[in-house]
Structure formats: C-alpha cells, structure tokens
Amino acid sequence: MESKKYTSLILVVLVIISILFVSADARNMLERKALECYSKGGGCGGFTFQYCCYPLQCIYSGPYWAMGTCKL
C-alpha cells in the first residue's frame, strides 16, 4: 500500500516537470521566431509566427490565417 502511494506521487511529480519543460521550450521558440522580423519580402503571418520589420506591413494573399508577404 505504501509503495503504491509513493509510485503515484513520483508519477505526478514527473508529469508536472515535463509540462513545465514543454511550455518553457514552446515559449522560447516563439520568442526566437518573434525576434526574426523580415526586412523585405519575407513570409509573414499565418502559421509562420513571423512579422515584418517596420515600416513594412504583412499583406495577406488570402484568408487572415494564410501566409502573407512583407510590403510597404
């Protein structure tokens, strides 16, 4: 009985640690992507998580979730 309690406690701790690591990794990836803005003609918006360097704007070639290009 006692060992079963310890096993479940260890499992809970492992799950919590893995969730923390995964969320931190995803955050870092998004921050790195956000730092890479495009100065001209790069892909932006949609699933790329990229944006255009000022004063360029992301012009979409379709629905709002579609990828666009950086233009003045």
What tens digit of pLDDT does each residue of 31-69 get?
665 556 776 666 787 666 677 888 888 888 776 666 788
59: left (phi over 0), alpha (psi -120 to 50) or beta: beta
Domains in the chain: boundaries: 1-35, 37-72
Residue type, 36: E
Each residue's pLDDT tens digit, 6-27? 888 888 877 776 666 666 666 6
Q: Read off the pTM.
A: 0.38
Residue type, 71: K
Residue 36's SS3 state is: coil
